[in-house]
């Protein structure tokens, strides 16, 4: 709406890229965070959990937005026009709700990134502290005293 039609290719590229990345993330998350040892019908973890279905809905809601995939599946705008105004309104509501789901998912990804980066920083600090102790810069008693002070301040 706010950009010239010449920018449609750029938007289509980024929509396709985000679809592929979200689908890949979902597949990898199933692979890493699920336990299939008891068989496909007794899966523990991410696969077939509430968040799995929420993520699947978010990924599937992107299909009509991905031009090359929508045309391959026959989900063009002309199909919406032929279904009538009620279906068109329902589709608009569905598109708005899918955008909300995608935004919630992006917020979740940002939160996960923040937690992961915080853990990485804490691990780096711990590794640096271990190197200082091993090199003899601090002795065990000084570190124990420092840790007790920092824990009592919390």
Helices marked H in the chain? 8-33, 50-61, 67-73, 77-83, 85-135, 140-153
Cα distance between residue 130 and residue 122, in whole Å? 12
Measured distance CA(154)–CA(151) in Å, rounded? 5
pLDDT exceeds cutoff 70 at 89: no
Which carries the bigger pLDDT value, residue 148 or residue 83? Answer: 148
Instruction: Output the pLDDT for position 17.
Output: 94
> How far apart (Å, rounded) are the C-alpha atoms in residues 76 and 84?
14
Would you state the pLDDT for residue 85? 54
Whether 124 has a pLDDT exceeding 70, the answer reads yes
pTM: 0.49
Which residue is associated with the tokens 């950009």?
Answer: 3
Residue with tokens 């991905």: 66
- For tokens 């750029």, what's the residue? 10
Mean pLDDT of 23-49: 88
Would you place residue 13 in the very low, low, confident or very high pLDDT band (cuts 50, 70, 90)?
A: very high
Q: Are 59 and 66 in contact (CB under 8 A)?
A: no
Q: Tell me the mean pLDDT in the region 16-28.
A: 93
* Upper half-sphere CA count for residue 35 (Cβ side, 13 Å): 5
The gap from C-alpha 101 to its chain's centroid, in whole angstroms, comes to 11
Question: Using alpha carbons only, how large is the chain's radius of gyration in Å?
Answer: 24
pLDDT at position 23, please? 94
Q: What is the pLDDT of residues 91-105, one digit of tens each?
A: 666 666 777 777 788
Question: Given a cut of 70, is residue 76 above it in pLDDT?
Answer: no
Is the CA virtual torsion 66, 72, 73, 77 positive or negative? Answer: positive
């Amino acid at each position: 709406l706010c950009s010239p039609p010449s920018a449609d290719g750029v938007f289509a590229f980024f929509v396709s890229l985000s679809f592929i990345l979200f689908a890949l993330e979902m597949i990898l998350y199933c692979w890493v965070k699920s336990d299939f040892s008891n068989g496909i019908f007794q899966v523990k973890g991410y696969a077939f959990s509430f968040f799995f279905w929420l993520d699947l809905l978010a990924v599937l809601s992107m299909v009509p937005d991905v031009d090359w995939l929508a045309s391959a599946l026959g989900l063009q705008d002309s199909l919406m026009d032929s279904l009538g105004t009620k279906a068109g309104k329902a589709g608009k509501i569905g598109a708005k709700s899918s955008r909300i789901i995608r935004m919630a998912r992006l917020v979740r990804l940002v939160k996960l990134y923040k937690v992961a980066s915080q853990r990485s920083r804490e691990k780096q600090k711990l590794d640096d502290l271990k190197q200082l102790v091993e090199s003899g810069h601090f002795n065990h008693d000084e570190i124990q005293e420092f840790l007790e002070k920092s824990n009592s301040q919390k």
